Structures are given as C-alpha cells and as structure tokens.
Amino acid sequence: MRRLLVFWLAVAPPLHGWGVVGHALVARLAMARLSPKAMSAVTEILGPGTTMAGISSWADQIRNSRKDTGPWHYVDIEIGAAHLDMKRDCPDGACILAKIEQFEGTVKDKTVAPEKRKEALMFLIHFLGDMQQPLHCSDNHDKGGNDVKLTFFGRPTNLHSLWDSGLLARMGTEEELFTELNQDLSPKRAKKLSKGDLKNWAEQSHRQSQLVVYGKLPPAEKGALIPLAESYEPAATAVVREQLERGGARLAKVLNAAFK
C-alpha cells in the first residue's frame, strides 16, 4: 500500500496523515498535558521559538527530499486481520511502530548529538499523530484509500484525502477545534484514551478502518466512483474527533515517560 499525493480540492496543497491542522491539534493537545520536566526537555531540544505544533508537519514536508522516510509513516495491517503481526506487517522494520520505538530511544539519550535528538523528536511528534489516522494502520490494497474515488457533498475526492483533511475542514477552524477538544480531554479521559502500548494503539486505529472508514462505505465495484451519502459524516466525524484526542493523550504519555 502506498500513498500518492492527493487533493481535497484541485487548488489544495498535498497532504499526508492528518494534514497540517490535524497534526497541529495533536501536538497542541499533547503540549497542554506535558509534565513540567517533559515541557522543559522538549523546549530545550526544539530550541527557542520552536513549538511542537510548529514542527508537527515537518516529517511530511521532507518526504520528497528524503524518500526513504516514506514507509515510516504507516504500518500495513491487512484490513481483514484481527491483530497486528510485526513479521507480516512490518517485515523490514521500516514502519511507523518500529520508528516510534527507535526515536523514543534517541530522544531519551542525552549523549546523542543535539541535532539528531531534535530530528528524532520531530519525527516522534508527527508519527504519534499519523498512527491515529486509521488509514495509516490498515492495508486494503488501494494505496491507503487513494484509489477509492468519491464524491462528498458534490466535491470529487478520495478516501485518504477525505480522512486526511476533508472531514476536518467541515468541523471548524483549528482554534475552534482545539478549544472543544482540549476542554473535552479531561485528565480522566486522557488517561483512559492513552491506556495500552503502541501495538494496542495501532490495532485500535486499524479497527476504526474496519468499522467506519471502510465499514460505512456503500457497496461498490472496485474502481467505481462512490457518491458518498451525508449519512457517512456523523460516524466519521466522531472517529476523527476521538482519534485526535487519542493522539494528544498518547503523545503526551510517550513524552512524559521519555523525560520523567
């Protein structure tokens, strides 16, 4: 499965993962939940004037110049599989789960050169967001949903682009969404949403692909244009909101553990 660059609208810039807004929201939600020690360490590593939200899409911006990083943004769990199998789904260790573990180790290691720690942290911030986008944890042999052509509220798009940015674009501005999600993500809820480990989180995201991303699509022949009914939006939007909250809670958990 491999993602092609896609467009929500013909004039829109290419997007990956959650797009700029989604990644910024995950980073901002996480930053609001960092311990003082983790906040201090993150600020020191990133440098003056650099925020987690500001660099949260950096890993997408360098994909064209560093093509080896492309596979790091996802893990191909077969859509019909019940569970993650690292031997099957990440055979060469170049998937999002393996890279998160690698970069966790790098940011913890104070003997690593400052620039390498900074790069590892920037990847870590981005990938903890990416893995909450269900299509980054599932493989339906359709280039991550790019081959599933849709019309949604009269606009031509595809499944991956819809989940990257199309749904978010209808949910409000970044500021409006941050205010709502930040208020909803109480300490108790953040603790609940961040339970488990990377494997659990990948499987939970994958399950959303099974139940909603693909599960709510109307039946259609392979390659056919799907006029997506408005009824798809409520369930999809609910998943997007919760996955962004999960991303913020889980990224905070990882960083707080790394700098405890």
Helix (H, G, I), strand (E, B) or coil at 149: strand
Say which CATH number the domain at 210 has: 1.10.575.10
Name the strands in the sheet holding 149-152, side by side, starting at the edge strand that comes first in the sequence. Answer: 155-158, 149-152, 226-228
In-domain check, residue 72: yes
Instruction: State pLDDT tens for residues 84-117.
Output: 999 999 989 999 999 999 999 999 999 999 999 9
pLDDT band at 16 (very low <50, low <70, confident <90, very high): low
Burial track 224-242 (b if 16+ CB lie within 10 A, e otherwise):
eebebeeebbeebeebbbb
In-domain check, residue 3: no
User: In sequence order, what are the residues at sequence separation of 6 or more whose Cβ sits closer than 8 angstroms to the Cβ of residue 184?
Assistant: 245
pLDDT for position 170:
95
| Cα first-last separation, the chain | 37
From CA 121, how far away is CA 61, in angstroms rounded? 15
In-domain check, residue 37: yes
From CA 68, how far away is CA 42, in angstroms rounded? 26
Residue 156 has pLDDT above 50, yes or no: yes
pTM of the predicted model, to two decimals?
0.93
Domain containing 55 equals 19-258
Instruction: State pLDDT tens for residues 118-149.
Output: 999 999 999 999 999 999 999 999 999 999 99
In-domain check, residue 25: yes
pLDDT for position 8:
34
From CA 19, how far away is CA 13, in angstroms rounded? 10
In-domain check, residue 1: no
